[in-house]
Structure 1
Amino acid sequence: MVFFMVFWLEYDVVHSYTPQHYIVGGEEGWDPVITMQGWAQGKDFHAGDVLEFIYDQKFDVAIVDKEGHDTCTVSDKSIQFFDGDDNITLAFGPNYFICSFPDICAIGLQLAINATAPPPSV
């Protein structure tokens, strides 16, 4: 019985994925003073990971489609957040975020992340 419990605990620790929590932009937060794609570079994002957007309320965040990301536009299908501290769980595949103010988005307050499947439980 003890052997089974130890084996199960080791299996569970080694074979389970814990979603990661990221503060978008690091210390600066969701702010045009840094390049968001530069912040994301080198990070390995998975579906289920949580992005926390911390921002001055003059910079909102919107979940948009690829066209909205590329053109800095919000459509009726977009989801906007205005709280200044929003947690958004990544969906599998491409995830696009922008500031809904076109001028602010155009200077770089936008982010595209492709979330892969969590590592397999072997």
Structure 2
Amino acid sequence: MAFIEKAVFFLMMMMTAFQVSHAAVHKVGDSAGWTIIGNIDYKKWAATKNFQVGDTIIFEYNAKFHNVMRVTHAMYKSCNASSPLTTMSTGNDTIKITNYGHHFFLCGIPGHCQAGQKVDINVVKVSAAAAPSPTSAMASPVPPANVPAPSPNNAAPFIVVKGAGIALMTLLALALSSYA
């Protein structure tokens, strides 16, 4: 029985250590898209999203009337489209988020940014402190003072691959079935 308790505790520790992230696709402005029609509040839209590294941002718009410019914070604040970092104008522009921080976009057509056609995509780094601890997820069946220190391990470190959580649970189930 002690082995099962340790195995469950180990499984909880491993599941907490693995933060599985599923990339999301965000269409800027949702069904309205990237426009000045309809008084879309892109600041409010962005505030309702949880952007993460790996997510995809899609700007859909009429390319005859709009574009998308990636700009600096200062340019974003002042609606300055004179020297953007990048300019996109296909009407269906896709951007993959590859780093944390603020990503500023605006429409470079005169008057559009001033009318509210700008968005700050803020990708916040999730800290390990935000993840639940194994003891908060499940009470430890063994008081911590009675747990022996782990012995030195000279084994090669394992490599985490996609689906590792399922593989780990399968290995644990196999191990437990051999002790039943």
Q: TM-score scaled to structure 2, two decimals? A: 0.55
SS at match of 1:45: coil
Structure 2 counterpart of 1:88, which letter? I
Q: Which residue of 1 aligns with 2:92?
A: 85
Distance 1:48 1:75 in 2: 29
Q: CA RMSD in A?
A: 2.3
Asked which structure has the greater CA Rg, the reply is 2
2:53 alignment partner in structure 1:
47
The gaps in structure 1 that reach 5 residues or longer are 1-6
Seq. identity, % = 25
Evaluate the alpha carbon distance shift between residue 68 and residue 103 of structure 1 in structure 2; reply closer, same or farther with a 3 A threshold. same
Structure having the larger proportion of residues in strand: 1
Matched, 1:61 2:65: no
**2:25 alignment counterpart:** 21
The alpha-carbon deviation at position 44 of structure 1 amounts to 1.0
Cα displacement string for residues 83-113 of structure 1 (whole angstroms, at most 9, x for unaligned residues): 0001112231011000012301101000012
Residue 173 of structure 2 is matched in structure 1 by none
Q: Which structure shows the higher helix fraction?
A: 2
Alpha-carbon contact 1:65-1:78 (below 8 Å) kept: yes
| Range with greater deviation from structure 2 (49-58 or 15-24) | 15-24
Matched, 1:109 2:113: no
| Alpha carbons 2:69, 2:84 under 8 Å: kept | no
C-alpha spacing 1:75/1:118, structure 2 compared with 1 (3 Å): farther
Q: Can you give the 5+ residue segments of structure 2 that lack an aligned partner in the other structure?
A: 1-10, 133-180
State the match for 1:74 in structure 2. Answer: 81
- C-alpha deviation, 1:117, in angstroms: 2.7
Q: What is the number of residues matched between the two proteins?
A: 112
CA distance in 1, matches of 2:74, 2:62: 25
- TM-score of the pair, normalised by structure 1: 0.79
